[in-house]
Amino acid sequence: MTATSYAIEEPVGAAPEEVTPDQIVTQETSGIAVEGPVMSAQEMAAERELNALPEVTGEGDVGTQRCDNPYKKWYALSGRKKNYHIPSWWNGTSYKDGPGGTMTVEVLKSGKIGLELSGTISAEAGVLLAKAKTEFGAKVIGEVGITTGHRYSRNIKSGRYGHLQYGTWGEKYSWVKYETSADRCGKKKLGSGTVKMPTKEVGWRYWETRT
């Protein structure tokens, strides 16, 4: 069977969380981007010092002990995942075909992909973006534009279903929000979550399923 597929991807075909190298089938640079803020070296140094404080529960106000650390709220990022595909889930960018054969796809509708936040409390997207750019040297941005076109063909293994999803090859982090404890000697956890950040790199991700 040879087919040109423009069917919308079915929910059962949702991409697995982990991206394997063979799933990165196209990669190009978008010319439409919102860069977003960065942190100064002084701000980064101050947060590193505060982040080194011990984590405490409650208010951390023990007896008459006091420290001279400033009161501040800040974020810590960890668990960096590169080449993390953030899909453009609108119609015209996600396809499924098979079993077997060849699928030919194309981005039919333009749009934008921005930061995706989740967590136990609300978080400031711009602050997380600035921290990733400054602390890790990440080439993440606030928003990337997806244009139409980007035609691509792919052979599907016999008996399998092929999936092609367009999006940005971004990054994923875990974040924790802290504040200085009442006695200024420790840090108190306020909440945590994950953030997915786009880059200017966009393209198709391919994977196969049995159904």
Which tokens sit at 32? 């439409």
Whole-prediction pTM: 0.86
**Three-state secondary structure of the chain:** CCEECCCECCHHHCCCCCCCHHHECCCEECCCEECCCCCCHHHHHHHHHHHCCCEECCCCCCCCCCCCCCCCEEEEEEEEEEEEEEECCCCCCEEEECCCEEEEEEECCCEEEECEEEECCCCCHHHHHHHHHHHCCCCECCEEEECCEEEEEEEECCCCEEEEEEEEEEEEEEEEEEEECCCCCCEEEEEEEEEEECECEEEEEEEEECC
What pLDDT is attached to residue 134? Answer: 94
Residue 15 has what pLDDT?
A: 77
pLDDT of residue 175: 97
Q: What is the per-residue pLDDT for 59? A: 60
Residues of the chain with pLDDT under 70: 1-14, 59-64
- Report the pLDDT value the prediction gives residue 61, as an integer from 0 to 100: 55
pLDDT for 54 = 93
Q: What integer pLDDT is reported at residue 1 of this predicted model?
A: 30
- The pLDDT of residue 16: 81
